[in-house]
Amino acid sequence: MTGPVPELADRAVACAQRLLETDRVLLASHIDADGLTSAAVAAQALERAGIPFEAVFEKQLDEAAIAGIAAREYDTVLFTDFGSGQLDVIADYERRGAFTPVIADHHQPAETDTEYHLNPLLVGLNGASELSGAGASYVLARALAAESECEIEHENRDLAALAVVGAVGDMQASSGELHGANAGIVAEGETAGVLETGPDLSLYGKQTRPLPKLLEYASDVRIPGISNDANGALRFLDGLDLELTRDGEWRCWSELTSEEKQVLASALVRRAVSRGVPAGRIDGLVSTAYVLSDEPVGSELRDASEFSTLLNATARYERADVGLGVCLGNREGALERARTLLRDHRRNLSAGIDLVTREGVTVEDNLQWFHAGDRIRETIVGIVAGMALGNGGISREKPILAFAAKNDDELKVSARGTHALVGRGLDLSAVVGEAARAVGGDGGGHDVAAGATVPKGEEEAFLERADAIVGEQLG
């Protein structure tokens, strides 16, 4: 078995063989879009291989969560989208005979290792941009299909669609397309007939937002007179020689013909040029779209970006079961509940951005930060921090750190940067991990996005250390 990521083939086979030798498995996963799709890919692969399992989700895999997992008394625990960074604690439980861990993750590993460990960073691949947690689960799923005695249709290649949703949700397509090991998964999804790709307008909401809202809310490429301007977006659309309404309602981008899309996109580019938008930003108007072929046109599940946002709106509000249900094909109760949660999620994000824009950030020598307390949920403060970069006068030239209340004694810290800063040497996983441990907390993640938990009252010491580390990294 080689699969889409040959470098991980041997590790994937070893993990698959361990799972196939197990009577039952506890599947433990993270709660974001990548974590939910990781769990969904693994769950379907286990079911198809005839392996009984139970799924649990954790916001953070700390020592208390690992102890709770051990208390469930499963011989084998499959960790997806986390586990690598906590391997020192997990290995301690393994040595005591509590369970055997199988890990499919993409975060920075602890120095300890274990026999069944599937992580791109262990074979020289970038876990922040080349393979997500869902991608690691997909590699494992393909190995399970190859090693199982069961006849599995498509050899689990149809699960590539969910793996792509996870990668997109993990911001691995922020450069305009998925690359590296992710590209191999995309190719397998296209072969299985579950994915379609191609150049398209790189605005969020192409499936579901009416055209005026699609343009008004476009944030990645801001066009003066259209972005954040409801009347301006309407005037722009009214000036096109196109029939963009039907039965008195505005159409969505997904409903347009290829010719209509071309006319609208060309007009957008001309407007951007005329308003002085830099050429590099104009190029960002077009990116690779990832379409789930089996989902209906006009559904948020058809577009990988919209699908991932829907998933983020479930488990971050303690409803991981809803997100998993949607991933597993529940198109009635779970999908409607997810849509309700998404509406609430959008309101909360909007309120969070308003708060940060209104109060601003504190700028240090090498980073900037804000403290939301209990005014922004700790499960979404990282999303707000990422959205704030470049908005409302907040610079993209320095990484941003955000604090939010986690409980009575601890704070959640979320850190976000840009790929340009990473190119200069920024590694936020190292920043928050080292700074958090210096004040009695812990953290980790990726170079461009990371998180930590620190004791309340230690913010000043944490920031001082983090600012110094960023300064060292960026020179």
Is-contact 405 411, C-beta < 8 A?
Answer: yes
Q: What is the pLDDT of residues 215-225, one digit of tens each?
A: 998 766 788 89
Mean pLDDT of 90-115: 95
Q: What is the pLDDT of residue 402?
A: 97
pLDDT confidence band for 389 (50 / 70 / 90): confident
> 376 in a domain, yes or no?
yes
Residue range(s) defining the domain that contains residue 153 = 6-195
Clarify whether residues 390 and 407 are in a common domain: yes
Question: What's the domain count of the chain?
Answer: 3
Tell me if 1 is assigned to some domain. Answer: no
For residues 168 and 22, state if they share a domain.
Answer: yes
Residue 157: C-alpha distances to residues 3, 36, 44, 161, 473 (Å): 9, 18, 12, 8, 40
Residue 328 confidence (pLDDT)? 96
CA quadruple 206, 208, 212, 213: dihedral positive or negative? negative
Residue 84 confidence (pLDDT) above 90: yes
| Co-location of 307 and 176 in the same domain | no
Distance CA 272, CA 402 (A): 32
Residue 75 confidence (pLDDT) above 80 = yes
Contacts of 184 (CB under 8 A, 6+ apart): 3, 4, 5
* Residues 108, 70: Cα–Cα separation, whole Å: 23
Pick the range with the lowest mean pLDDT from 107-116, 398-407, 462-471.
107-116
Average pLDDT value for residue range 194-199 = 96
Rounded to whole angstroms, how far apart are CA atoms 77 and 259?
A: 52
Task: Check whether residue 183 and residue 204 sit in a common domain.
Answer: no
The one-letter amino acid at 457: G
User: Are 43 and 55 in contact, with CB atoms under 8 Å apart?
Assistant: yes
What pLDDT score was predicted for residue 332?
81
Residues 139 and 205 in one domain: no
Provide, rounded to the nearest whole percent, the portion of the chain with pLDDT above 90.
85
What would the mean pLDDT of 82-89 be, rounded to a whole number? Answer: 95
* Same domain (yes/no): 305, 422: no
Distance (Å) of CA 205 to CA 239, 242, 252, 299, 300: 22, 20, 9, 10, 8
Do 327 and 467 reside in the same domain of the chain?
Answer: no
CATH classification at residue 127: 3.90.1640.30
Question: Of 99 and 391, which is predicted with more confidence?
Answer: 99
Residue 379 domain flag: yes
Q: What is the pLDDT of residues 413-455, one digit of tens each?
A: 999 998 889 999 999 999 999 999 999 999 988 888 999 999 9
Output 1 or 379, whichever has higher pLDDT: 379
Which residue, of 195, 220, 237, is where some domain finishes?
A: 195
Q: Is residue 354 part of a domain?
A: no
The predicted model gives 128-152 an average pLDDT of 96
Q: Is 341 within a domain?
A: yes
Instruction: Give, in degrees to the nearest 5, the angle at Cα 335 between 215 and 253.
Output: 25
**Domain presence at residue 80:** yes
| pTM more than 0.75 | yes
pLDDT at 146 over 70: yes
Domain-located, residue 245: yes
State the average pLDDT for the chain.
94
**Same domain assignment for residues 75 and 179:** yes
Per residue in 287-336, pLDDT tens? 999 999 999 999 999 999 999 999 999 988 989 999 999 999 988 899 99
Q: Rounded CA gap, 16 and 32, in Å?
A: 24
For 289, the token pair is 């779209």
pLDDT above 70 (res 281): yes
Q: Are residues 300 and 432 in the same domain?
A: no
* Residue 119 placed within a domain: yes
* pLDDT value, residue 1: 63
Q: Residue 464: CB partners within 8 Å, gap ≥ 6?
A: none
Query: Phi and psi (nearest 5°) for 109?
Result: -75, 150
Whether residues 77 and 183 share a domain: the answer is yes
pLDDT tier at 170, thresholds 50, 70, 90: very high
pLDDT score of 392 more than 70: no
- pLDDT tens digits for 9-40? 999 999 999 999 999 999 999 999 999 999 99
Residue where a domain stops, chosen among 349, 382, 406: 349
Q: How far apart (Å, rounded) are the C-alpha atoms in residues 129 and 107?
A: 11
Which has the closest alpha carbon to 74: 130, 18, 6, 158?
18
Instruction: Say if residue 169 is in the same domain as residue 226.
Output: no
Q: What CATH number corresponds to the domain at position 410? A: 3.10.310.40
Report, as an integer, the average pLDDT of 260-289.
91
Regarding whether 130 and 162 lie in a shared domain, the answer is: yes
What does the alpha-carbon distance between residue 435 and residue 468 come to, in Å, rounded to a whole number? 9
- Above pLDDT 70, what percent of the chain? 98
Confidence band, pLDDT 50/70/90 cuts, at residue 111 = confident
pLDDT for 382: 94
Domain end position, chosen among 294, 318, 349: 349
